Copies of this chain bind each other. A is one copy, B any other.
């Protein structure tokens, strides 16, 4: 048997394990210090009461013969797909429930969707980048080009005739930079993709953080149904990082060489997947009830307030950043010309604040640093206090 040799080319990043090692080493030497973690992109607020109630009911259903559920539809129960359809409709986007596929999370879909594409296709990803876009394509042996997301373009690279590819990744609001495309900017990408017979893989995992008129779905943009697949998730919207549910939209119009990507994805999912737990789907559907939606918005408001506090802290310190407004991420330029890891060490040693070195997300991340709004209010306030004391000029 010949293994998939492409795996040899997958880079080991060790980003989060290196962070953990450094923090542990510091704490071993300074056991009396309190470390404030604003690094990892994981939520901290518990699930909303409406979700908890729905899941308890679903668990009870699974325990009784009359209401027990066996195999469900691989693409998700109609009740959840209809709720998602209505969620899009409220933003003026019309989808058929056949175009909505429920999964165990956007990360799974992000990897698995590549099954639909030939390995000879070229791929365009932004730098800095969510590493999954790169690693999943390296595993399949695809050629990857990078588009430059820099301070100069507000970390929002635009189409470039010199950088064509068959598969284009866009993530907005962006992980890690927090920058969000406007609809006008996305329209340029859609036109570019159609002109070049390319597919856009649009990662909308952070759409719920958009508060201004930035795009929340690429399908708000005319023509997107002809070129885009959208990946979305309950992880950040409703705190489902450990509960696991997401969804992917594959429009009917996506037909390449006579092959419907929607039909192919249905075939992929019915062959290699058996649907999401009924209990989890019931919980996800509760996110869209009146009570659920209010509770979710309260949680999002809590994180947004954290983001605002960190952004205000950066303003006060005179540190340039993106994000913090349409995003739980604050992507800041390390002061005094420090590298990402130098700044990491500096914050850890001086004020015991832990963030994520930007260089872990790509070459253009060097000299930048990511803080997240997913901590508790107390942690966020204390971290800002310490950062102001250290960094304010």
Interface residues, chain A, with chain B CB atoms under 8 Å away = 1-5, 7-8, 10, 40, 42-47, 49, 52, 55-56, 59-60, 62-65, 68-72, 104-105, 107-108, 110-112, 115-118, 120-121, 132, 135-136, 139, 166-167, 197-199, 239, 241-244, 256-257, 259, 261, 264, 267-268, 271-280
Could you say which of B10, B199, B268, B275 contacts A244, with CB atoms under 8 Å apart?
B275
CB pair A64 B46 closer than 8 Å = yes
Contact present for B274 and A277 (CB under 8 Å): no
- A233's nearest neighbour on chain B, judged by CB, is B274
Contact A166 B2 (CB under 8 A): yes
Partner of A68, one of B46, B65, B264, B278: B46
Please determine whether B278 and A118 come into contact, CB atoms closer than 8 angstroms. no
A72-B242 contact, Cβ under 8 Å, with A59-B56, A166-B1:
yes
Give the Cβ gap from A226 to chain B, nearest Cβ, in Å. 12
Work out how many copies of this chain go into the complex. Answer: 2
What are 22 inter-chain pairs, A to B, with CB distance below 8 A?
A1-B198, A2-B118, A2-B121, A2-B166, A3-B264, A4-B118, A46-B63, A46-B68, A47-B62, A52-B62, A52-B63, A59-B59, A62-B242, A62-B243, A70-B242, A104-B276, A107-B274, A111-B271, A115-B139, A139-B268, A242-B278, A243-B279
Contact check, B70 vs A261: say whether CB atoms are below 8 A apart: no
Q: Name A199's closest neighbour in chain B (CB-CB).
A: B1
Q: Which residues of B contact A167 (CB under 8 A)?
A: 1
Instruction: Select from chain B the residue with minimum beta-carbon distance to A139.
Output: B115
Q: Pick the contact of A117 from B3, B71, B117 — CB < 8 Å?
A: B3
- Cβ-defined contact, A47 with B70, below 8 A: no
CB distance from A1 to the nearest CB of B (A): 4
Q: How far is the CA of A294 from the CA of B243 in the complex (A)?
A: 28
Known A-B contacts A277-B242, A279-B243; A42 and B62 likewise in contact (beta carbons under 8 Å): no
B136, A271: Cβ atoms closer than 8 Å: yes
Q: Are B59 and A43 in contact (CB under 8 A)?
A: no
Q: Which residues from chain B contact A43 at a C-beta distance below 8 Å?
A: 70
Contacts of A274 on B, CB cut-off 8 Å? Answer: 104-105, 107-108, 241, 244
CA distance A271 to B112 in the complex (A): 10
A269–chain B nearest beta-carbon distance, Å: 10
Cross-chain contact A63 with B45 (CB below 8 angstroms): no
Taking the nearest CB of chain B, how far is it from the CB of A51, in angstroms? 8
Assess the A273–B4 pair: CB atoms within 8 A.
no
Q: A166 contacts which chain B residues (CB < 8 A)?
A: 1-2
